[in-house]
Amino acid sequence: MLAAARAFVRFTPGKSLISRIGGVSPETSDGGSQEPAARGEAGEAGEAAGVGKMLERVSRSTWWRSMCLEKALAGRWMLRRRGIASTMYIGMARKGQEFIAHAWLVGDGQTITGAGEITYATLAVFRESGPGQPDPGLTSR
C-alpha cells in the first residue's frame, strides 16, 4: 500500500490530487483548533493503531523516504479495507522563517500516522466513513 500511495502522489498532477483523494470536507479547521488531530497525538491501542505501527515498520525498510502524505494515504486505504472510519488532515505550521506542510491520519479517535510535537493549522480534511455510517458529504472546493 505504501508503494501504491507513493506512486499515486508522485504521478498524479497537483490540481487533480485533492479531487482524486476524495474531495475536501466542508468542516475545515479555523487553524486554531486544539483537538487531538491538530496536535497530532499518537494513539496506543486498537486495530487502527496497529495499522499505524505497521506503516512505520514498512516505511523504515523501503529504499525511498516515505513522506507523511504517502503514509496517511496508505493508512486511509488500509483502514477503509478494515471498515474503520478515518479522517486525513493536511496542515501547515511555521517553524522559524519557514512554512512546513504535514499530513496525518486519525482513526478510532487517535492519530494513526503523522503524530508529532508541532500544532498545525488544518487546511484540508478528508473524511472516510466506516460501515453503517452516513456519508460525511464530501465536496470539492
pLDDT in tens, 43-82: 455 788 888 888 888 888 888 878 888 899 999 989 988 8
More confident residue, 116 or 39: 116
Find the domain containing 95 and state its range.
2-6+29-128
In a domain, 95, yes or no: yes
Q: What is the phi-psi region of residue 23: left when phi exceeds 0, alpha when psi lies from -120 to 50, beta otherwise? A: left
Q: What is the model's pTM?
A: 0.69
Give the per-residue pLDDT at 23.
54
Q: Domain total for the chain?
A: 1
Backbone Cα Rg of the chain: 14
CB 68 within 8 A of CB 79: no
Render pLDDT for 16-53 as a digit per residue (tens, 0 to 9): 666 666 655 545 444 444 444 444 444 455 788 888 88
Residue 112 phi/psi, 5° resolution?
A: -90, -45
Give the per-residue pLDDT at 105.
92
In a domain, 111, yes or no: yes
User: Who's near 49: CB < 8 A, 6+ residues apart?
Assistant: 43, 108, 110, 112
More confident residue, 118 or 133: 118
Tell me the residue ranges of DSSP E strands in the chain.
Answer: 86-95, 98-107, 110-113, 121-128
Residue type, 5: A
